[in-house]
Amino acid sequence: MYRVAITGIGIVSCLGNDLESVGAALRNGQSGIVVDPQRVELGFRSPLTGQIKNFDTSILSRKQRKSMPEFAVWAYASARDALEMSGLDEESLQNDQSGLIYGCDSSCLAAIEQVEALLQRGETKGIGSGQIFRSMTSTVTMNLNTLLKTRGACWTLSSACSSSGHAVGQAADLIRMGRQERMICGGAQEVNWQSMCSFDGLGAFSAQLDDPATASRPFDADRDGLVPSGGAASVILERYDLAEKRGATILGELLGYGFSSDGAQLSVPSEDGLSRAMRSALQQSGLATGEIDYLCAHATATPAGDAAEATNIRRVFGDTTPDISALKALTGHELWMSGAAQVVYTAIMAQQGFTAASYNFNQADAGTAGLNIIRETRLRSPGKVLCNSAGFGGTNSSLVIAFS
């Protein structure tokens, strides 16, 4: 088994489009949540959403973007930044040992646009050449593959809100097993009302509209639902020995990946599923629970989901949990992107020397009690970290990372 190094990160997030601005937002508690006027007009129960701002799409040509929905361009931007950080040049990626796995579970807007184009133009050839490639959930990896010319693994993993947690974990496994030497992995999530309207109809979104910045309240007694969000996050993983040999700056080591599923309900997480993923990740990492000093929770701010995660955390860590924060207080729930985003956010904290508070948390209720939730940002880098993500249908991912 090979060791797995993290050598690059990149992100396009509602907190910012580069590591410095995202780091500043995490450190200072700046929210990326806004009210979308169109959702108000359309009668959404909650018009709150994360929003990507000031993104320059001209990094790719119009022809290149023709086959890419907006979130695939975000994914490219984050991958490009992560690769630049890693120091890997184009040539070192263009071989059988370099691969791609991203988490993504929809390309809703593109699917709608192609139908609208057909109805408007009256013939299928009027839809245009790009829509088929834009509307597939594998759009990110198929487009990145043609842009970056990697020749190894190339697929997209769909498992709802744990998609990119599993994508990073599976990419690490491929390296661990010796099947790939380097992986560009991550997750991407579209941001538009079309993809969120039926989710809004479930009543699962926060309706605290007075102050968008405080609407998402993970683990807090007054939490009333998640705030949908999105963007793209990329992580470069490499075989540790090869990264060392080429003199790369190693940001951290991905020590363990655990997965599990609930085998229970569609939308209500079980009281043991995530704990089995955490235990599996810890076992692979070789670390004891007491060695984890920071847990980046999945916690989306839904009443049932946060309580279930709290139960799962207590199952694994007992009465003495690590420091815990839930970054979705600032970012909202980045859905397919969230698992990889947590890896990037924690790596940013490790690089920039702080551990972000769990903002918007005032007090626990009976369901979320017993966790060591950080109330103020600490000027200390996280060292050994556990990142959780969980998705509809009860699919769970846990990653254990040791930062350098």
Burial class (CB in 10 A: 0-12, 13-18, 19+), 330: buried
Tokens representing 340 are 């990889």
Active-site residue, selected from the candidate residues 14, 154, 185, 298: 298
CA distances from 3 to 172, 192, 253 (A): 9, 39, 8
Tokens representing 365 are 């209720």
Helix (H) or strand (E) holding 315: helix 303-317
Place of tokens 């396009």: 12
Q: Give 72 or 175: the residue with its C-beta nearer to another protein.
A: 72
Q: Give 66 or 151: the residue with its C-beta nearer to another protein.
A: 66
Q: Give 127 or 243: the residue with its C-beta nearer to another protein.
A: 127
Shortest gap between Cβ of 136 and another protein (angstroms)? 15
Q: Give 53 or 121: the residue with its C-beta nearer to another protein.
A: 121
Report how far residue 103's alpha carbon sits from residue 161's, in angstroms, rounded to the nearest whole number.
9
Residue 245 binds to another protein (criterion: CB under 8 A): no
Residue 318 binds to another protein (criterion: CB under 8 A): no
Q: How many of the chain's residues bind another protein (CB under 8 A)?
A: 9
Residue 63 binds to another protein (criterion: CB under 8 A): yes
Helices (H) then strands (E): counts for the chain: 15, 12
| Contacting residue, 37, 43, 56, 62, with another protein by CB under 8 A | 62
Q: Which one of the spans 48-56, 122-130, 158-166, 250-258 is the region binding another protein (CB under 8 A)?
A: 122-130
Report how far residue 53's alpha carbon sits from residue 56's, in angstroms, rounded to the nearest whole number.
9
Active-site residue, selected from the candidate residues 154, 166, 185, 333: 333
Residue 61 binds to another protein (criterion: CB under 8 A): yes
Q: Which residues of 336-362 are buried (b: 16+ CB within 10 A; e: fewer)?
A: bbbbbbbbbbbbbbbbbebbbbbbbbe
Q: Give 130 or 367: the residue with its C-beta nearer to another protein.
A: 130
Shortest gap between Cβ of 83 and another protein (angstroms)? 24
Q: Would you call 154 a catalytic residue per the annotation?
A: no
Shortest gap between Cβ of 129 and another protein (angstroms)? 4
Report how far residue 233's alpha carbon sits from residue 231's, in angstroms, rounded to the nearest whole number.
7
Burial class (CB in 10 A: 0-12, 13-18, 19+), 303: middle
| Contacting residue, 28, 38, 57, 129, with another protein by CB under 8 A | 129
Shortest gap between Cβ of 114 and another protein (angstroms)? 13
Report how far residue 32's alpha carbon sits from residue 215's, in angstroms, rounded to the nearest whole number.
11
Q: Give 60 or 157: the residue with its C-beta nearer to another protein.
A: 60
Q: Would you call 166 a catalytic residue per the annotation?
A: no
Tokens representing 4 are 């797995």
Helix (H) or strand (E) holding 155: strand 154-157
Residue 57 binds to another protein (criterion: CB under 8 A): no
Q: Which amino acid is at 284?
A: Q
Active-site residue, selected from the candidate residues 161, 185, 296, 387: 161
| Contacting residue, 96, 116, 126, 353, with another protein by CB under 8 A | 126
Residue 128 binds to another protein (criterion: CB under 8 A): yes
Residue 58 binds to another protein (criterion: CB under 8 A): no
CA atoms within 13 A on the CB side of 345: 33
Q: Give 65 or 239: the residue with its C-beta nearer to another protein.
A: 65
Report how far residue 299's alpha carbon sits from residue 216's, in angstroms, rounded to the nearest whole number.
10
Please report, as ranges, the residues that interact with another protein according to CB under 8 A. 61-63, 66, 125-126, 128-130
Q: Which residues are catalytic?
A: 161, 298, 333
